[in-house]
Amino acid sequence: MDLGTKAYEQVDQIVQTNLKLVEELNNGFHDQDEIKSVVSQITNEKVDSSTEIRLPFWTDFGRNLHIGKNVFINGGSMFTDMGGIYLGDRVLIGPNVTIASVNHNIDPKTRRNLQLKSVYIHDNAWLGANVTVTPGVVIGENAIVGAGAVVTKDVPSNTIVGGVPARFIKTIKE
């Protein structure tokens, strides 16, 4: 997405609206119904009643964050979602997790332009505390990402990964 284009201006309008909502959400006490109501406004999609979101909750865009049913998002998590972030059902997000679907160009002349690549976290996946997921990554069903990992490549279903960068640890047997 290039700076100075009509699309970029529209994105900026959404960002400004949602920045206010995110700040209001993170300042003061809110029960789960209030949190889900505000996050529903931010994402422009109804957050299911089975989902639990702990504060603070951060997103830089909001409209491309899609949250499944029975999801748990712990406090301090950041969703850089302009490229799209999809959380399946029963996903567990540990504290201070960062999921990014946006990157920048290497070329210094166009570095402020954005590269958008969706991130998919499939059903029943678990991201431990302080995990970072980079743009374009797919985390498979039932996968576990160990605390502190930086995920730069897809994680197959039923697999545990950890480390920096995240590497295969073992297969989960059902």
- Distance (Å, rounded) from C-alpha 49 to C-alpha 61? 22
Q: Closest Cα partner for 49 from 65, 66, 35?
A: 35
Given the residues 30, 66, 104, 122, select the one marked as catalytic.
Answer: 104
What are the helix (H) ranges across the chain? Answer: 6-26, 32-43
Q: What residue type is assigned to position 115 of the chain? A: Q
Query: Catalytic: 66?
Result: no
Q: What residue type is assigned to position 41 of the chain? A: Q
Catalytic residues: 104
